[in-house]
Amino acid sequence: MKIVYRGGCNPHIDRTAVAAKLPADDPDVGPGATVHLSGCPRACASDHLLVSDDPGTVVVAGELVDGVPTPAPELAPTVTRKLKE
Amino acid sequence: MALKTPEEFRQSIADLHLQIYLFGQKIDDYVDHPMIRPSINCIAMTYELARLPEYEDLMLATSHLTGKKVNRFTHIHQSTGDLSKKVKMQRLLGQKTGSCFQRCVGMDAINALYSVTYETDQARGTQYHERFKRYVQYLQDNDLVADGAMTDPKGDRGLAPHQQPDPDMYLHIVEKRDDGLVVRGAKAHQTGACNSHEIIVMPTVAMREGDEDYAVSFSCPANAEGVYYIYGRQSCDTRRLEGNDLDVGNAQFGGQEALMVFDDVFVPWDRVYLCGEIEFSGALVERFAGFHRQSYGGCKVGVGDVLIGAAATAADMNGVARASHIKDKLIEMTHLNETLFSCGLACSYEGVKMPAGNYQIDMLLANVCKQNVTRFPYEIARLAEDIAGGLMVTMPSAQDLADEKIGPIVEKFLVGQCDAPVIDRMRILRLVENLTLGTAAVSYRTESMHGAGSPQAQRIMIARQSNIDHKKELAKALAGVGKPWDKGRAKVPTAVAGA
């Protein structure tokens, strides 16, 4: 799984804490899986896209996952679930 | 249908035979009424500039629905470039009209509804989004003006919509039928309402349980049965009835507001975009307000350009252009104006692509933009009045200037800088008056305060997104908050100890 960071000037969430809770080497997660991990809703890591056109990519932008409001504690579980879908 | 010409626009508005009341009378020939015509000229300018090759880049966009060129006022933003071009287009139109040109609310309404209908469908399994896309295409194909109608009269602000003694204080559903809805209520302060082909209604606040009948969004023709308009007064408005172009300041252009009444209006289902989904009413309000708060970083800047130019010209004509304090005041006005523009552009460049596919402004920066708009135009206006001098409010009338006996006296004593004709000096001072105290002050001052939400509404949004905890952590880390402290290392500096 690839994690893309960009920006980081105004984090509403602890990006590295979210990344640390994502599954590493999980066989249910496809090899091309990518997480764009932005600290705020400006979504710098995904070039300002709240949802990626690539189905293997999940976008986290502050407390949003693929554009859906998600409380900070739920970010990693939500991303994990989406990566396995 | 191709893009409309200004003349086709005027005729299409006349053909609607809208129910408009002004001074207690129904106005049939509203397109040519001297108090209404200037506002129609403003929207006509959005059609005129769209036909000029030098403005095509700003005024036109390529529809993502049809691939055709459409007026940007009917466009769903497809990139951050679209968002910034919107702001630049608004500045351009503010410059050309010196007024509120009224077409922005519809553009902001369609862009807010585009993403909200999509997300409502995703959550509720409704069919609003495809229905709304067809409506947007209808607006684009026919190059129509839509009024974005949000603000309800609201009655007792301390009560929820369903708690109001008079249920009509918030527009609401009174009947659900097999073929559609019947709605009743009103929308206040409706900018450009009497210049629009269509009305897009949205709720005005986030609705709660019990407010389901008030969580309604729909569109209808501006001449739908049961819709009528009570035209709003503006400061100095009856000067337009005096028949001369001097004392009005801006003879060609002006804004327009009306109280729009819905007296049991039928809305077919294919025009309904929200019906009882209370949890999405807040998002709709926030997004419309966000887009409109961005808009003010363009339109008010364009009008500000005109006011700065008028003040500078007045200084020339007063013979004080070289005074250092005048130059400094013009610099300050420009600084404030360009700060507003910076905010409009910043929230555009930091915009994001929504799940629906459209682009939305950065909400925090859009609210900062509008918060500044509640202040800076007032300071720009104050400085313009300072530079113009008291004559702008004490000057004799056009009738006095035209009078055979009094006219030469007026002309003698109103001379300023020797090369400036008195009539031109009077014209420019009347323009400053128009923008700061007259009909245009409605949009340049009070609309800057309350339009797109009063200042406190932006402060609530700013507070919600201010990320204070992060700022606290930054400060604590640098200050060393929480670190153990060794008081034994608190020694008097050597140089001081040896003194």
Mean pLDDT of B299-307: 98
DSSP characters for B61-112?
EE-TTTS-EEEGGGPPP-SHHHHHHHHHHHHHHHHHHSS----HHHHHHHHH
Nearest partner of B350 among B340, B336, B364, judged by Cα: B364
The interface predicted TM-score of the complex, written ipTM, equals 0.84
Minimum Cα–Cα distance from B283: chain A residue: A69
In a domain, B493, yes or no: no
Sign (positive or negative) of CA dihedral B306, B309, B311, B316: negative
| B292 and B384 both lie in a single domain | yes
Mean pLDDT (chain A) is 93
Phi, psi torsion values for B49, nearest 5 degrees: -65, -30
Number of structural domains (chain B) is 2
User: Which site among A6, A38, A42 would you substitute to test the B interface, given the most B Cβ atoms closer than 10 Å to its Cβ?
Assistant: A42
Q: Is the dihedral of CA B396, B399, B403, B408 positive or negative?
A: positive
Distance, CA of B267 to CA of B135 (rounded, Å): 14
Q: Which of A17-31, B160-174, B387-401 has the lowest mean pLDDT?
A: A17-31
Residues A51, A66: contact at Cβ < 8 Å? yes
Mean pLDDT confidence for A52-70: 95
Q: Give me B77's structure tokens.
A: 């933003």
- Enumerate the residues of chain A whose CB falls inside 8 A of the CB of residue B363: 41
* Confidence band of B266 (pLDDT split at 50, 70, 90): very high
Last residue of some domain: B230, B259, B280? B280
Q: Chains A, B: CB contacts under 8 A, how many?
A: 35
Determine phi and psi for B43, rounding to 5 degrees: -70, -35
Q: What is the Cα–Cα distance from A83 to A59, expressed in whole angstroms?
A: 11
Cβ atoms B311, B428 nearer than 8 A: no
B337-353 residue pLDDT tens:
999 999 999 999 999 99
Residue B147 has pLDDT above 70, yes or no: yes
Q: How far is B350 from chain A (nearest CA, A)?
A: 6
Which residues, listed in sequence order, are joined to residue B221 by a DSSP beta bridge?
B198
Within-domain flag for B427: yes
Is the pLDDT assigned to residue B132 strictly greater than 80? Answer: yes
Q: Å from B482 to nearest chain A CA?
A: 20
**Domain contains B35:** yes
3-state secondary structure of B262: strand
Chain B residue with CA closest to A12: the answer is B467
Please compute the mean of the pLDDT values over residues B132-136 and round it to a whole number: 98
H runs (alpha helix) in B262-323: 281-318
Residues B268 and B298 in one domain: no
B192 and B305 both lie in a single domain:
no
Q: What angle do CA B455, B100, B252 make, to 5 degrees?
A: 150
Q: Are residues B105 and B204 in the same domain?
A: yes
Q: What is the pLDDT of residue A16?
A: 94
**CA–CA min distance B355, chain A (Å):** 6
> Is B490 part of a structural domain of the chain?
no
Quickly tell me which residue has 């999980």 as its tokens: A26
8-state DSSP, A56: T
Residue of chain B whose alpha carbon sits nearest to that of A7: B350
CATH code: domain of residue B210: 2.40.110.10
Interface touch A48/B351, C-beta < 8 Å: yes
For residues B418 and A62, the model is more confident at A62
B479 lies in a domain?
A: no
Hey, which residues does B260 pair with through a beta bridge? B187, B229
Same domain, B196 and B342: no
Is residue B487 domain-resident?
no
- Calculate ∠ Cα A37-A40-A43, nearest 5°: 60
Phi, psi of B154 (to 5 degrees): 75, -15
SS3 state at B8: helix
**Whether pLDDT at B356 is above 70:** yes
Distance, CA of B289 to CA of B450 (rounded, Å): 11
DSSP A19: H
| B272 against B487, higher pLDDT | B272
Indicate the residue type of B299. C
CA distance to partner chain A, nearest, from residue B62 (Å): 20
DSSP state, B218?
Answer: E
Place of tokens 């579980």: A77
Place of tokens 């010196």: B98
**Which domain-ending residue is among B280, B295, B310?**
B280
Same domain as B391, residue B433 = yes
pLDDT at B492: 83
The active-site residue, picked from B119, B212, B257, B277, is: B257
pLDDT at B434: 98
Average pLDDT over residues B19-42: 97
Please write the tens of the pLDDT for every residue from B455-498. Answer: 999 999 999 999 999 999 999 999 999 999 998 888 888 776 66
B166 with B237, same domain: the answer is: yes
Per-residue model confidence (pLDDT) at position B1: 59
More confident residue, B78 or B418: B78
Q: How many helices (H) and strands (E) would you count in chain A?
A: 2, 5
Q: What is the pLDDT of residues B80-123, one digit of tens each?
A: 999 999 999 999 999 999 999 999 999 999 999 999 999 999 99
Query: Buried (b) or exposed (e) across B179-204, using 16+ Cβ within 10 A?
Result: ebbebbbbbbbbbbbbbbbbbbbbbb
Q: Chain B interface, mutation test: which of A38, A40, A48, most B Cβ atoms within 10 Å? A: A48
Residue B299 annotated as catalytic? yes
- Would you say residue B307 lies in a domain? yes
Q: Which pLDDT value is given to residue B474?
A: 95
Residue B384 vs residue B489, higher pLDDT: B384
**Using a CB-CB distance cutoff of 8 angstroms, which residues of chain A are in contact with residue B80?**
48
pLDDT reading at B418 higher than 90? no
Whether residues B319 and B450 fall in one domain: yes
Write down the pLDDT at residue B195. 95
pLDDT given at position A26? 86
| pLDDT of residue B405 exceeding 80 | yes
A10, A48, A66: residue with CB nearest B467: A10
Q: Where are the alpha helices (DSSP H) in chain A?
A: 15-20, 75-84
Contact list in B for residue A68 (CB cut-off 8 A) is: 355
Catalytic residue from among B118, B229, B231, B296? B296
Mutation pick from B82, B352, B368, B471 vs chain A, by most beta carbons of A within 10 Å, is B352
User: B104, B236, B343, B369: which one is catalytic?
Assistant: B104
Residues 6+ apart with CB under 8 A from B149: B105, B109, B187, B190, B193, B199, B200, B201, B202, B260
The answer to whether residues B63 and B114 belong to one domain is yes
- Chain A residue at shortest CA distance from B350: A42
Q: Is the model more confident about A25 or about B171? A: B171
One domain, residues B344 and B442: yes
Interface touch A41/B80, C-beta < 8 Å: no
pLDDT at B499: 58
pLDDT number for residue B275: 98
The residue from B280, B311, B341 where one domain ends is: B280
Which pLDDT score, from 0 to 100, does residue A10 have? 87
Distance (Å, whole) CA B224 – CA B231: 17
Residue-range definition of the domain harbouring residue B339: 285-467
